[in-house]
Structure 1
Amino acid sequence: MLADGSFAQPVKAIGSLVTKDMSPVEAFRSIALSCLVQLQRNEAGAIFEKNPEYVHQARVAIRRLRSAFNLFSPVLAPAFVEDFSPRWRELARGLGSARDWDVFLTETLAPLEEAFPDEDDLVVLRAKGEASKDEAQISVGTTLTQKAYSQLLLTFSAALFSVKRATIDDSKKLSGLSLRKFARRRLQKRAAMVDGLVSEHGKMNAEHRHELRIAFKKLRYALDFFTPILPPKRLTVYQNSLTTIQDLLGTLNDQTTASRLIGKLHPKGEPESLIRGWIAGRTQLLIKALSSELSRFVAIRNPWH
């Protein structure tokens, strides 16, 4: 909160501060710290403000941290991962509902209202959706003011920078790699996972799209983390395509989420044919655009080679 009682603007992800002379564990510490900073800078706004961007950026911070856990797991002590990874996952779930309702109201329902302003069913969905969003926002405030949240921040920070090197498992071979070699190995594993799923993109059902979205998100976060030590010339084209694909997959996931949320709200237990048709039509357009972008993506050379 600022001196005049207002809140600073929502804080987006802080750029990676890793350098080539860091060890993999030092890089993890730097990335984890930047995630904590982003989370805490959005904390007050997420609790007290109605602007949904605070909650969104708090969730981004937690997602990035969880991705870092997974990416750097070969050089982290198993006890450290087993203790904290589930706790951050649970916190992320506590913030998820508010963001889902906001996206539904702004990205799905608003265009429908503009196209069909006299549709009574949409009026009902708007009223119930806004009420559900308000309830979810209150839940966010409760989650971020609980003792468990403060304890998580304190204990995680203490373990992260413990002089006893609690985050390190010295018995693992990868802990002795240079950061560049470690990055290449981990990025290649992420890319191989994406390639395997892309080769089966003809399936393109909701379950497969979800797996594809998670794989692309992990690859994108890994690239973001390692950007300072990667060749910049090839990185831009690769990242641009990756971002486009992730955006398309995210919007497709929003359609699936919208159908689920509408099912909860609709007075008849299911959406009218108008709404079902709108979502189905938009989904097909997005799938077509995704297929074209995937074809372009597989032709781009990996920038870390």
Structure 2
Amino acid sequence: MADTKREIERKYESDDSGLPDLTGVGKIAEVLDRGLVELDATYYDTADQRLAAAGLTLRRRTGGSDAGWHLKFPVAPGVRDEIRAPLSDTVPDEIAALVRSRVRGTELVPVVRLRSARDVRHLVDADGALLAEASVDTVTADRLAGKGGSAQWTEIEVELADGGDPAFLDQVDKRLRKAGVRPSKSPSKLARALEQTGGRRPGSGRQAKPVTAGDHVLAYVREQREAILGHDPGVRRDVPDAVHQMRVATRRMRSTFRTYRTVLDPAVTEPVSVELKWLAGELGADRDQEVLSERLLTALDDLSPAAVSGPVRRRLTTWASAKHSSVHGHLVAILDSARYLALLDSLDALLADPPLRKKAARKLEKVLAKAARKDFAKVSRLVTEALDLPPGEECDVAVHQARKKAKRTRYAGEAAVPALGGPARSLAKSMKSLTSRLGEHQDSVMARRTLRELAAVAHAAGESTFTYGLLYGREEARAADVETDLPGLWNEIRAKVSV
């Protein structure tokens, strides 16, 4: 079974002088010699090094206290999440699943072997508690795939102890720099090995600066494709907010295809949009459940004890847990499906050979502004229609339709920000405010539907339904507040937007 560790570390170049004395830095009371450890790691990737290009590292390592398979995901500079699995001859299934969106049907092969002689020091405080582990690593790298050779270097690595304050590493950094030690130019040993044994480091090339309307739209689509791939492992691991962020990326891309139909040929993008809608729907089941559960439990917490009649909390938590478990299992199966992997292949193909139309080569300001104005006009029509309806089911549907169009317009504004600047940023900000308020209305609609269902089950079990009715009434009031506030909010937005 794989487990996860948050790794926070700094890497430095090293010469023959080794590790400077760190005693007295911050809370360091003593530097303990823990001896020499021999490590032998084989790194795996596709032949075209897709994992390395995304900043991921997958290795099988022997030696040391954590021998096994390690998969590392970048979180921030100097911060990575390391997924560990026991030592075996082949890549463990739970590890392989986390890179499936990158690898797909391509084989993982050994690309680099790194052998390190690690001279370990423990940095401890006055009570003997570990603050960080510092080591001087003498590394030998051998390229195993393609044309390449060998390389050797020595580096200093300082890794923060579990639960430590990252600010402590800043204190160590200051001392090392004062001693003439400089940060490593490579983010990892693998990146350095690939660069020194076989040319340019994968992923080191930069995209050309967007110039035309087509350039800007494709840059935004490429960003969303990367977000889908990047959040895939988090969805599989049930990381908080991963489902939401992946769903947002699918919606942003689909909205971009629809808004900028004069830039990208819809004959090519529409089939991809259909699949993105399918994926967003599958992701939505989990996300909507998460939001609804949190909303209902928070509302229950706001009630006085006297207003809670019967086992309402137990029924709510049981319902939420059962729903999430079922939905998440289904979602993981979706991410393993041939349909999902085919969608990723389609996105790669679209970006490799983009279906640009004539207007894609025109001045980006004119093309993007016109598309954004068109979307805003549609939002205006839908909001006006919703305002003309009395409270009820028809109004609920109209508000929901306005919210969906406002989201699309928000994403259109975001895509246009690099080209249009302030006006597009104002549009995106205003549409975010509108969708947030309209989202409160839709959440109330869904909460009332669920409360009715739960109340029916509770009644059949002989339980009191008083609390469900009370929560239902509060949800009605929250929706009414949105309907009351909407005219004023919409007038403010119309006064601000100037695309």
| 1:98 lines up with 2:286 in the alignment | yes
Query: How has the CA–CA distance of structure 1 residues 52 and 29 changed in structure 2, closer, same or farther, with 3 Å as cutoff?
Result: same
| 1:62 lines up with 2:253 in the alignment | no
Please give the residue correspondences for 1:252-267 in structure 2 after superposition, counting only pairs within 5 Å.
252-266=441-455, 267=457
Letter of the 2:340 partner, please give it. Y
Please give the residue correspondences for 1:178-217 in structure 2 after superposition, counting only pairs within 5 Å.
178-200=363-385, 201-203=387-389, 205-217=395-407
Please give the residue correspondences for 1:1-305 in structure 2 after superposition, counting only pairs within 5 Å.
21-22=211-212, 24-49=213-238, 51-117=239-305, 118-119=308-309, 120-162=311-353, 165=354, 167-170=355-358, 174-200=359-385, 201-203=387-389, 205-232=395-422, 238-266=427-455, 267=457, 268=459, 272-302=468-498, 304=499
Deviation of the 1:98 alpha carbon: 0.7
Deviation of the 1:84 alpha carbon: 1.0
Q: Distance in 1 between matches of 2:273 and 2:426?
A: 32
SS at match of 2:302: helix
SS at match of 1:115: coil
**Structure 2: runs of 5+ lacking an equivalent:** 8-69, 77-206
Residues 30-80 of structure 1 deviation map (CA, whole Å, 9 limit, x = unaligned): 11110011111111110112x330101010110101111111222323331
* Alpha-carbon contact 1:55-1:99 (below 8 Å) kept: yes
Larger strand proportion of the pair = 2
SS at match of 1:74: coil
Deviation of the 1:159 alpha carbon: 2.7
Q: Distance in 1 between matches of 2:496 and 2:260?
A: 25
Deviation of the 1:169 alpha carbon: 4.1
Query: How has the CA–CA distance of structure 1 residues 208 and 228 changed in structure 2, closer, same or farther, with 3 Å as cutoff?
Result: same
Letter of the 1:244 partner, please give it. S
SS at match of 1:76: coil
Deviation of the 1:8 alpha carbon: 5.8
60-69 or 118-127, which deviates more: 118-127
Letter of the 1:152 partner, please give it. L
* Cα-Cα RMSD: 2.8
Of all paired residues, the percent bearing the same amino acid is: 23
TM-score, normalisation: structure 1: 0.83
* Alpha-carbon contact 2:218-2:351 (below 8 Å) kept: yes
Residues 150-197 of structure 1 deviation map (CA, whole Å, 9 limit, x = unaligned): 2211232113212xx5x1345xxx345321111121011012112222
Deviation of the 1:251 alpha carbon: 1.5
Letter of the 1:217 partner, please give it. K
Q: Distance in 1 between matches of 2:290 and 2:448?
A: 14
Q: Distance in 2 between matches of 1:260 and 1:125?
A: 14
Query: How has the CA–CA distance of structure 1 residues 26 and 80 changed in structure 2, closer, same or farther, with 3 Å as cutoff?
Result: same
**Structure 1: runs of 5+ lacking an equivalent:** 11-16
Larger helix proportion of the pair = 1
Deviation of the 1:137 alpha carbon: 1.4
Letter of the 2:349 partner, please give it. A
Which of 1 and 2 has greater Rg? 2
Query: How has the CA–CA distance of structure 1 residues 6 and 104 changed in structure 2, closer, same or farther, with 3 Å as cutoff?
Result: farther
Letter of the 1:275 partner, please give it. L
* Alpha-carbon contact 2:257-2:266 (below 8 Å) kept: no
Deviation of the 1:287 alpha carbon: 2.4
149-158 or 97-106, which deviates more: 149-158
Query: How has the CA–CA distance of structure 1 residues 9 and 287 changed in structure 2, closer, same or farther, with 3 Å as cutoff?
Result: farther
Q: Distance in 1 between matches of 2:217 and 2:483?
A: 35
* Alpha-carbon contact 1:18-1:228 (below 8 Å) kept: no
Q: Distance in 2 between matches of 1:150 and 1:116?
A: 49
186-195 or 263-272, which deviates more: 263-272
Letter of the 2:338 partner, please give it. K
SS at match of 1:73: coil
Q: Distance in 1 between matches of 2:279 and 2:407?
A: 19
